[in-house]
Amino acid sequence: MADATSSRAPEGATGVLVLGNGSVIWGRGFGAEGAAVGEVCFNTAMTGYQEVMTDPSYAGQIVTFTFPHIGNVGANAEDIEAINPHALGCIVREDVTDPSNFRATQGFDAWLRNNGRIGLAGVDTRALTRAIRIEGAPNGVIAHNAKGEFDLEALRAQARAWPGLEGMDLAKEVSSTQSYKWDDGLWTLGEGYATHAANPDGPHVVAIDYGLKRNILRNLVAAGARVTVVPATATFEDVMAHAPDGVFLSNGPGDPAATGAYAVPVIRELLEVGKPIFGICLGHQLLGLAVGAKTYKMHQGHRGANHPVKRVGDIEGAGRVEITSMNHGFAVDTETLPANAEPTHVSLFDGSLAGLRLTDKPAFSVQYHPEASPGPQDSHYLFEQFVRQLRSAAA
C-alpha cells in the first residue's frame, strides 16, 4: 500500500505524501490531521525521535526516519529541545505502538496530535531514503485525513509551488523574541535536569539564538559558564550590553546565506573586538560566512546520530575519530576558506568540512552537534575547551 503511486487512495489509506515531482506515496496517518508542505529529508538515528521533532533546525522539513520502530518508547516532557515541535511531520515504516518505557507519559501518536504535527506510517522508508539519496531532498506535502479523502492535484500544486529551503531565512521564526538567562544543567537518571545550576563566578556566555537546542545551554552550564540568551536579530550593541566574556552562535534552520544578511555583520564586529566565539551547525556556517567563506546546499544533507568525524590539522587529538550527531542541509565550502581559517574536523562520510578555527582570532566552530551525545560523550570536550578559553582570556 505505502509505496503505491496511483492517484486513487488504496483501501485503508488515511495518509499520503505527495512530492513535487508528482509522486504519491500512500500510508496510514497518525498524529494530527491536516496537511503541511516542506522539504522531505531522512534521519538515520535509532533513538531520539522526540528530540528530532522538537529541534528548531528541522523547521520547514518533513523527517523520514530510517529506523523502522519509531514511537515505541512514547513521549515525555523532558526529551524535548524546544517548547514546541518544529519539524512539520514524520514518516515511519511501522505503525506506532503503545509506549513501552518507564519514562513515557503519553504515546507518540497522542503527543504529535496534541502538538499539531502529522505522522505517516506504513511507508517503505528504505525506498524513499534511496530516492532522496539519488535525486536529492524533494519538496513534498504530508497529509492526514481520517476518511482518506485527499485532493491530490491540490497537494501536487502545493508541493510544486513551495520555494524550497535555499534562500529561506527561518531563524527569525524559531528564535526567542527576548533575552533571558539560563541556569539548568545536565540530566541524570532519577534526578532529572539539574536546576538552578548557575555558575555565579563562571565566565559569561551570550548565546545568540538562531534556533537553539536546550541541551546546548545545559552543556555550557555544565562546563562552568553563566549563560544569557539573546534573539537571532540581536545587534552588536545588544550583545555587548550583556558584557559577555564570550559569544556562542547556535544551530538553526534555513539557508545560512539568508540568515547571514543580518547575522554576519554582527559576528564580524564581535570578531573585530576580539570576543571568543564558539559556533555549532548554523553558527558554524555563519562564522564561515563572516570570514569570507561560502556555503552551499547539500544534495541530501547529513542527519543522524552515527556520523564519523575526524580531527585534522594542528589540534589536540588530531587523528581521532568522533561519532557525532548531525542535522544540516547546508555546508561551508572548504575551498573558499580564507588563509586565516583552517579545517579542524572533516566528515568521514563525504569529506565535507565539519569544523574550523581562526588562526588570528579566538574563534572556532563545528558543523555537528556535540551536545546530542551520540558517542555518547565524544564531543563534550568542545564545551569545556570553550569555557577554558574564556577563563584564560579573563586571567
Grid coordinates given for 68: 523502522
In this structure, the dihedral spanned by the alpha carbons of residues 231, 237, 240 and 241, taken in order and rounded to 10 degrees, is -90
Q: Cα–Cα distance between 371 and 360 in angstroms, integer?
A: 27
Grid coordinates given for 269: 564586529
Query: Are 214 and 172 in contact, with CB atoms under 8 Å apart?
Result: no
pLDDT-derived band of residue 218, with 50, 70 and 90 as boundaries?
very high
Fold of 171-394: Rossmann fold (3.40.50)
Q: Is 166 a catalytic residue?
A: no
Q: Cα–Cα distance between 283 and 205 in angstroms, integer?
A: 15
- Residue 197 pLDDT more than 80? no
Q: Cα–Cα distance between 150 and 7 in angstroms, integer?
A: 10
Dump strand ranges (E) for 96-250: 118-121, 139-144, 180-182, 187-188, 192-193, 204-209, 226-231, 246-249
Residue 114: its H or E element: helix 108-114
Q: Is 369 a catalytic residue?
A: yes
Query: Are 340 and 359 in contact, with CB atoms under 8 Å apart?
Result: yes
Among candidate residues 39, 81, 322, 371, the one labeled active-site is: 371
Question: 15-161 domain in CATH 3.40.47.10?
Answer: no
Instruction: Give the start-to-end residue ranges of the domains of the chain.
Output: 15-161, 171-394
Question: Per-residue pLDDT tens for 93-118?
Answer: 999 999 999 999 999 999 999 999 99
284-313: average pLDDT? 97
Q: Given 3-state DSSP classes, what are the helix, strand and coil percentages for the chain, each rounded to the nearest 5?
A: 25, 30, 45
Strand partners, 25: 17
Strand partners, 45: none
Mean of pLDDT over the chain: 95
Query: Are 283 and 207 in contact, with CB atoms under 8 Å apart?
Result: no
221-232: average pLDDT? 97
Query: Are 146 and 115 in contact, with CB atoms under 8 Å apart?
Result: no
Question: Per-residue pLDDT tens for 51-79?
Answer: 999 999 999 999 999 999 999 999 999 99
Grid coordinates given for 247: 559569544
Query: Are 324 and 374 in contact, with CB atoms under 8 Å apart?
Result: yes
Question: For residue 139, which of 291, 23, 297, 255 has the smallest C-alpha distance?
Answer: 23
The pLDDT score that the predictor gives to residue 320 is 96
- Which one-letter DSSP state was computed for residue 106? B
The pLDDT score that the predictor gives to residue 385 is 96
Poorest-pLDDT segment among 197-206, 227-236, 300-309, 384-393: 197-206
Grid coordinates given for 316: 589536540
Q: Cα–Cα distance between 251 and 2 in angstroms, integer?
A: 34
109-113, 314-318, 378-382, range with greatest mean pLDDT: 109-113
The pLDDT score that the predictor gives to residue 6 is 46
Query: Are 269 and 237 in contact, with CB atoms under 8 Å apart?
Result: no
Question: By percentage, how much of the chain surpasses pLDDT 70?
Answer: 98
Q: Cα–Cα distance between 369 and 346 in angstroms, integer?
A: 14
281-302: average pLDDT? 98
**What amino acid occupies position 107?**
G
> For the whole prediction, is pTM greater than 0.85?
yes
Return all residues near 43 (Cβ < 8 A) that are at least 6 apart: 52, 63, 64, 65, 66, 303, 304, 327
- Residue 4 pLDDT more than 90? no
- Residue 287 pLDDT more than 50? yes
pLDDT-derived band of residue 182, with 50, 70 and 90 as boundaries?
very high
pLDDT-derived band of residue 160, with 50, 70 and 90 as boundaries?
very high
State whether residue 336 is helix, strand or coil. Answer: helix
122-143: average pLDDT? 97
Among candidate residues 284, 307, 328, 369, the one labeled active-site is: 369
Residue predicted with more confidence, 201 or 3: 201
Backbone phi and psi for residue 332, each to the nearest 5 degrees, phi listed first: -85, 130
Grid coordinates given for 78: 523532558
Among candidate residues 39, 51, 90, 281, the one labeled active-site is: 281
The pairing of beta strand 118-121 with beta strand 89-91: parallel
Query: Are 292 and 338 in contact, with CB atoms under 8 Å apart?
Result: yes
378-390: average pLDDT? 95
Query: Are 167 and 44 in contact, with CB atoms under 8 Å apart?
Result: no
361-366: average pLDDT? 98
- Which one-letter DSSP state was computed for residue 350? T
pLDDT-derived band of residue 8, with 50, 70 and 90 as boundaries?
low
Q: Is 371 a catalytic residue?
A: yes
The pLDDT score that the predictor gives to residue 7 is 58
Q: Cα–Cα distance between 38 and 114 in angstroms, integer?
A: 20
